[in-house]
Amino acid sequence: PDDEDEKDEL
Amino acid sequence: MNIFRLCGDMTHLLSVVVLLLKIHTIKSCAGISLKTQELYALVFATRYLDIFTHHVSLYNTVMKIIFLGTSFTIVWYMRHHKVVRQTYDKEQDTFKHYMLIIPCFALALLIKTKFTPLEVLWTFSIYLEAVAIFPQLVLLQRTKNIDNLTGNYVFLLGAYRGLYLLNWIVRYFTEKGYRQWITWISGIVQTALYADFFYYYIKCWRNNEKLHLPS
């Protein structure tokens, strides 16, 4: 998965 | 989620608790920059627009609600609470919001991942968070007697950023294809802004002195 799209951080 | 990310979030949460303790219990916001607090409220309002559309985990959603709620509560206390607002160092807190907001927004329009309103606002929030501490650091430098709660509040905020850097290093080595350049570079800039403060905070702590910054 592309992490730029995930936004799993606050 | 690794240990540094969790500790980072908890340190961030603790910094908010320390600030609310000072404001709600001691009824004082002396030494706290309203400009920085308003910028943080703007940071969370623009970053967490996805709160109802993009579900990561219950943890993330709850934390987002806490940071949104507390940031606006702090601004409300400093602007409107009849006792707290009188302790605000308005004459010293002179930094202009637009000097940070406009360049950050321009940068978000230029350097972002996708050109959609949500994406640009998210990127803007990342850039703005990196520099939002600036008015607070200026105010600290002008404050003659920095109280313990204020010093600890800024220290916890800086520690939270430092822990996020460690979190990214761990993620880089453990998650395949993990990279987020905008967040990383902004995060490094943000942490670097605390370097000077950390130096004097630790120096005064080791010498058992009250915190003071050279002007």
Distances (CA, A) of B48 to B36, B40, B111, B138: 18, 12, 19, 28
For chain A, say whether B113 makes contact (Cβ under 8 Å): yes
Confidence tier at B171 by pLDDT (50, 70, 90): very high
For chain A, say whether B119 makes contact (Cβ under 8 Å): no
- Flag whether pLDDT at B194 surpasses 80: yes
State which residue of chain B sits closest to A7, comparing Cα positions: B56
Quick one: average pLDDT of B11-15? Answer: 98
Rounded to an integer, what distance in angstroms lies between the CA atom of residue B74 and that of residue B20?
A: 7
Q: Name every chain A residue with its beta carbon within 8 A of the beta carbon of B177.
A: 1-3
Confidence tier at A3 by pLDDT (50, 70, 90): very low
CB B170 within 8 A of CB B4: yes
Tens of pLDDT, residues B106-165: 999 999 788 999 999 999 999 999 999 999 999 999 998 899 999 999 999 999 999 999
Place of tokens 């907001």: B101
Q: Output the pLDDT for position B145.
A: 87
Q: Output the pLDDT for position B122.
A: 95
Evaluated on CA atoms B188, B189, B190, B191, the torsion sign reads positive
For chain A, say whether B177 makes contact (Cβ under 8 Å): yes
CB B54 within 8 A of CB A7: yes
Task: Tell me the average pLDDT of chain B.
Answer: 96
